[in-house]
Amino acid sequence: MKRIGVFLLISLLPALAILFVCGFHISGLILLFSLILLAYMYVLINEQIHFAQYAKSSMERFNRDVE
């Protein structure tokens, strides 16, 4: 969960800069929301990859212990 906050913060800073440059209108808000959503999806995909790697190594250890 800590990584989610870090990635959201990293994605929020350039999005806020773009928002200030573009001005506070609807396209800037849409851009801000889409960048935050992309960062959140990136973090979720990375978490799934790490979980899959952990599950694979756990199954390999279990199979070695059974044999």
Residues 41-55: pLDDT tens digits? Answer: 888 888 888 888 888
Q: What is the mean pLDDT of residues 9-28?
A: 71
> What per-residue confidence (pLDDT) applies to 24?
66
Please report the sign of the dihedral spanned by the C-alpha atoms of residue 8, residue 11, residue 17, residue 20: negative
Which of the pair, 49 or 34, is modelled with greater confidence?
49
Q: pTM of the predicted model, to two decimals?
A: 0.50
The pLDDT value recorded for residue 1 is 53
State the average pLDDT for the chain. Answer: 77
Domain of 6 in residue numbering reads as: 2-66
Residues with Cβ within 8 Å of residue 28, at least 6 apart in sequence: 18, 19, 22
Number of domains in the chain: 1
The pLDDT score that the predictor gives to residue 44 is: 82
